[in-house]
Amino acid sequence: MKTFTKIDYFIQIFALLVGFLSLINGFQDMGALRFYFIVGGSQLISFMIRLFLKEKKSPGYIAYGILILPVWIILLVYFLMGPFKYPASLLYLLMSSLMYSPIMAIIYIYYCYINYKFYNSES
């Protein structure tokens, strides 16, 4: 778990940098959407792995899951059902979540940093 935490922290920083580069490079070409998928995708994978690790979950980690997992579920429903069968209320929920997703990304990276610092000071 110590090794995963250290690797995960650097992967999150790398994903954030790649996301910012895609945002800057392709702002006209849906760069913002690419940013969300690059950063959010890496965080979702990290979140799911941490979910099954036998470590104590902090209240911040649980709050992150409650706020961010519905976004990915809505996107999955959208891609599976298609845009024509998609309820409009879910689209409004998805659009409103785009406002808090960057803040959640920063909070998750900070959470990874705290864990990294904890395990780094332990060794």
Per residue in 82-99, pLDDT (tens digit) is 666 666 776 777 777 777
Number of domains comprising the chain: 1
Domain containing residue 61: 2-122
Query: What integer is the mean pLDDT of 24-40?
Result: 77
Residues 59/119/53/108 CA torsion (nearest 10 deg): 50
Closest-CA residue to 9 (of 107, 102, 114): 114
Query: What integer is the mean pLDDT of 36-40?
Result: 84
Is-contact 41 49, C-beta < 8 A? no
Is-contact 107 64, C-beta < 8 A? yes
